[in-house]
Amino acid sequence: MKIEQLYTKCLAEAAYYIESNGEVAIIDPLRETDPYIKMAMDDAATIKYIFETHFHADFVSGHVDLANKTGASIVYGPTANPGFDAIIAKDNQEFRIGNVRLKVLHTPGHTQESSTFLLIDEEGNETAIFTGDTLFLGDVGRPDLAVKTDLTRNELAGMLFDSLRNKIMPLSDELTVYPAHGAGSACGKNMSSETVGKLGEQKETNYALRPDMTKEEFIKEVTDGILPPPQYFPKNAIMNKMGYGAYDAVLANGNHALNLDEFNEEIENGALVLDVRSQGEFIKGYIPNSLFIGLDGTFAMWVGALIEDLNQKLILIVPEGREEEAVKRLARVGYDNTIGYLKGGVATYKNAGNNLETITSVSSETLAKEYDGAAIIDVRKPGEFEAEHVENATTLPLDYLNDNLTVLNKNKSYHIHCAGGYRSVIAISLLKKNGYTNLIDVAGGFAALSETAIPKTTYVCPTTLK
């Protein structure tokens, strides 16, 4: 038997490959199918089943394409009602993969169909659980992401409490826990950076598994402090439930070079220019009205948070050699309408006699000298701001910037910072697209500002905008 975790850091997502005696099960695959098919070929094995722990909200899974390419059966837990052929398993139903079995444990709460898969090895021993978003290391799944349900998040949280205590906690402490996400995912609040653990450790350390916790206490703790989900979450969940276009076609359409005339024509027809270079390159020169979201940050998550229309036509400004990577990562979160990239990038645009725009960036030391007269905007998350922030700064989280595009004065100058410099440049590019001109980036963000004498505070001041 072989178990491999395929962890994708930019999505904080884990898929799983299980092989036994020439048969393979894939759990929660990403959109691109080639890695799983290649792994099975290397093992001279056949992909028999594709197990989905639930209808994912934070990425588009590869179950439909993988089933079409391999003939494998898609398996969901009870109550799922997908828009494509799938096995809807009964609670405690077992599926054989070679000499091992996967047992379906219906564990609703994160969503109604959420299920945990219990692995039983060749000797009949229960060895591992693949928990999806039911149980993370250090946390549990948030109960407000179910697709089209009449249940409240408190009702789902109550179901999750029962699932954990009736299905998960009675299992052996020695079981290995393989969750669907780690730290950085918006599917929970307090996930560990570890991606594999033991159930016994979770019983001792995970707040949600405290044996003396009442259901009322659980509901309060699980729902306390949950921020609104990114706007793309329900859209991805529907794609996962109802199906989607073939990934290979999406990739072929997007990985396509455009000359400058084609580029300009597509812009006139409503395409958005998405610049995915580094923030340093973007600051030095970018095509007017471009939106910056760099590939080397949490790219897919910020695309999903800020580009509200999944069908928006996208043209990429992308480093040479990374075109396919960019299209792939967009497709992972459901942005399937990339129509190409400008061949030669900003150099092509500039060499044709067009002017690039730039962003003014100052050091934290420079801002410290000008602090008394500066209007400072902090675009970090609310929790980061509450922990510590520059005194008199205004919080304007990037997550909700689209909802607050009119709250600043377009005739006023603002210094904008995040934690390290990535999100502030995203924010400036978005604000500039919406008519703001006097924006200054603070290089190094709060990490750099914390080293200066600028006063800081942990008080949540009344300048909060949302």
pLDDT digits (tens, 9 = 90+) for 416-443: 999 999 999 999 999 999 999 999 999 9
Q: Specify the pLDDT at position 465.
A: 46
Q: What's the whole-number mean pLDDT along residues 27-50?
A: 98
- Alpha-helical regions (H) of 243-344: 247-254, 260-268, 279-284, 299-306, 323-331
| Phi, psi angles (nearest 5°) of residue 245 | -70, 160
- Residue 7's DSSP bridge partners are 14
Q: What's the whole-number mean pLDDT along residues 333-361?
A: 98
- All CATH 3.40.250.10 domain ranges in the chain, comma separated: 245-351, 360-457
Q: Specify the pLDDT at position 227.
A: 83
- All CATH 3.60.15.10 domain ranges in the chain, comma separated: 2-235
Q: How confident is the model at residue 466 (pLDDT cuts 50, 70, 90)?
A: very low
Q: What's the whole-number mean pLDDT along residues 4-31?
A: 96
Q: What's the whole-number mean pLDDT along residues 278-305?
A: 96
Give the Cα separation of 271 and 132 in Å (integer): 36
| Phi, psi angles (nearest 5°) of residue 48 | -95, -40
For the cut 60, the answer to whether the pLDDT of residue 24 exceeds it is yes
- Separation of first and last alpha carbons in the chain: 51
For the cut 90, the answer to whether the pLDDT of residue 459 exceeds it is no
Task: CATH number for 360-457: choose from 3.40.50.620, 1.20.1050.10, 3.10.50.30, 3.40.250.10.
Answer: 3.40.250.10
CB 225 within 8 Å of CB 144: no
The answer as to CATH 3.40.50.300 being correct for domain 245-351 is no
| Phi, psi angles (nearest 5°) of residue 164 | -65, -45
For the cut 60, the answer to whether the pLDDT of residue 221 exceeds it is yes
Q: What's the whole-number mean pLDDT along residues 405-414?
A: 94
Q: How confident is the model at residue 184 (pLDDT cuts 50, 70, 90)?
A: confident
Q: Specify the pLDDT at position 185.
A: 85
Task: CATH number for 2-235: choose from 3.40.50.150, 3.60.15.10, 3.40.50.300, 3.30.750.24.
Answer: 3.60.15.10
Angle (CA) 288-59-421 rounded to 5° is 40
pTM summary value: 0.93
Strand order in the sheet with 126-132: 94-97, 100-106, 115-120, 126-132, 176-179, 197-198
Q: Specify the pLDDT at position 150.
A: 86
Give the type of residue at 311.
N
Q: Using one digit for the tens of pLDDT, what is the confidence trace for 239-266? A: 999 999 999 999 999 999 999 999 999 9
Give the Cα separation of 170 and 177 in Å (integer): 14
Could you tell me what percentage of the chain is helix, strand and coil, using 3-state DSSP and rounding each to the nearest 5? 30, 20, 45
The rounded percent of the chain whose pLDDT value lies above 70 is 98
Burial of 366 (0-12, 13-18, 19+ CB in 10 A): middle
Q: Which residue has the tokens 């730290």?
A: 183
The rounded percent of the chain whose pLDDT value lies above 90 is 91
What is the average pLDDT value for the chain, to the nearest integer?
A: 95
Q: How confident is the model at residue 84 (pLDDT cuts 50, 70, 90)?
A: very high
Q: How confident is the model at residue 140 (pLDDT cuts 50, 70, 90)?
A: very high
Q: What's the whole-number mean pLDDT along residues 141-155?
A: 89
